[in-house]
Structure 1
Amino acid sequence: MSSNDAVPPVEPQSRFAGTLLDVLDKVEYARIQPEDVNDPVYKLRYEAYRRENFLPYNSEEVYTDPLDLSPNAYTFGVFIEGRLVSSIRIHHITPDCRISPSLGVYEDILGPMLDQGMTFTDPTRFTADHEASLAYPALPYLTLRLGLMASEHFSVDYCLQSVRPEHAPFYRRIFLSQPMGPERTYGQLSFPIVMVGSHVPETLPRILRRFPFFLSTREEREALFAGPGRVSFGHKVAATAKLEQKLRREQALAAE
């Protein structure tokens, strides 16, 4: 689905949605150069994992893994008023590029779906600055917005979420995700994960009508997810949810 497709009018805006749209006026996203181990995103990730005792101390105080360098990986910093507040990594999985954290754990489930020609986005490595998470309780929404943008940009079948079992209800409530894989372990994590997923062609229009802060223009998506040679690494891209909401309302009025 693209910004120019005919879409139902945006639902009446809740106070929660309005508040997040206002916060988005201050939000920018930047895709990082994955080979740059000195990028502040990797330091933020290290600090977040150390805070949760997921990692041992290392003198560089950065954390990367081999999947950061995979050809289908997109890693982002999220900025509010110019300050780095969170980050996320997204893998775009296709039948020709079968690399991602979820695929490593649930290949027996996802492999046959890929054999049928399906595609996925796999957002992982969501980390946040501790002080920012207290100042902005809605930070997960502002960060996970990138996963929806990627899912729309690449027109995938499913947006995957491999998360702690206790976090799965959040994804069911917000992203209309359904169970896709049982509890398993991943790498050296000390807790189990489950895989849930949102069937994008069915759920994306419903999510965007309910939560307009997830809206984005095609221009924003292309600036963040363009192919090699067409993206400016480190360039901050403003959130465009309000603009896209305005455009859709104008489209709906013109269609009446």
Structure 2
Amino acid sequence: MTESKSAESGASSRFASTLIDLLDQVRYRRIDPAEQFDPVYRLRYEAYRREDFIPVNSQQVTRDEFDDLPNCYCYGVYVSGQLASSLRFHVVTPQHPYSPCMSVWPDVLAPILERGQSFIDPGRFTADFDLSLAYPALPYLTLRLAAMACEYFPVRYCMSAVRPEHTAFYKRIFGASPLGEQRSYANLAFPMQLYTADVPVIRDRVAERYPFFMSRPQEREALFGAEKADLNAIAPTARMAQRLEMMDRAG
């Protein structure tokens, strides 16, 4: 290994260890769609209003028709008990072919469903401004939900509607590639680019380089299980998952 690659690997390892330590302060909470004024919807509103992406509304919440779909999953991410960020995703299958990305790029995505394949469509990633400054790694902690969803649900792809200035992040971390041209997305006042990651291709590489994305089946079941949604705050299991992985490799 060259000196530069060794330094890069060391930096990546230190970063991963720091993130796993930070996960000890993190909890994930699934949102009950019946709670129309959940703090997550207020967080969305504040984040979009801060950049003047949406108009003012008297309720000071941001919800849309996609929040009420049966294939919708929405979460708040808490750091040291404070709501820091949120993420919503849809599990898009031939049986449930509805999601924000499907509404914007139907000509691009419908052929995937026609082949019998499915995908995760994560979006509405919003963050508390002050906490995003305090925790620069918040995007990783939040998108860990999408990584776990790709492990839990039998999907082939993870689709992301990405702001042009954020595409480099998705390329670097998830090996994502552009799939559709820039288009207007929902009611947001900026264009989005459709990016895709092939889950079976990237899964092992992402987990090895960024082990904080790893999880145990118990955590995924508590977050995504369909029998009875667990609306309590769920603790991450990345540290245990990494430890068990290392033990398996050691034989």
Shift of 1:204: 0.9
Cα separation, 2, equivalents of 1:50 and 1:184: 21
Identity rate, percent: 50
Shift of 1:101: 0.6
Aligned to 1:232: 230
The alignment partner of 1:183 has SS state of: strand
Matches within 5 A, 1:39-58: 39-58=38-57
Shift of 1:203: 0.4
Superposed CA RMSD: 1.2
Cα separation, 1, equivalents of 2:191 and 2:224: 31
Aligned to 1:108: 107
* 2:231 aligned with 1:250: no
Shift of 1:230: 1.9
The alignment partner of 1:245 has SS state of: helix
Matches within 5 A, 1:161-180: 161-180=160-179
Shift of 1:188: 2.6
Shift of 1:53: 0.5
Aligned to 1:212: 211
The alignment partner of 2:125 has SS state of: strand
Shift of 1:155: 2.5
Deviation per residue, 1:194-213 (Å, 9 max, x gap): 10111000101110000001
Stretch deviating more after TM superposition (198-207 or 13-22): 13-22
CA contact (8 A) 2:160 2:196 kept: yes
Shift of 1:99: 0.8
Q: Under a length normalisation based on structure 2, what TM-score does the superposition of the two structures give?
A: 0.94
Matches within 5 A, 1:1-256: 14-227=13-226, 229-233=227-231, 235-254=232-251
Q: Which amino acid aligns with 1:69?
A: D
Cα separation, 2, equivalents of 1:249 and 1:196: 32
Structure with the larger RCO, 1 or 2 (CA within 8 Å, 6+ apart): 1
Unaligned ranges ≥5, structure 1: 1-10
Cα separation, 2, equivalents of 1:230 and 1:59: 33
Higher helix share: 2
Cα separation, 2, equivalents of 1:161 and 1:218: 24
- How many residues were matched structurally? 242
Aligned to 1:7: none
The alignment partner of 2:52 has SS state of: coil
Unaligned ranges ≥5, structure 2: 1-8
Shift of 1:190: 2.0
Shift of 1:217: 0.5
Cα separation, 1, equivalents of 2:102 and 2:52: 25
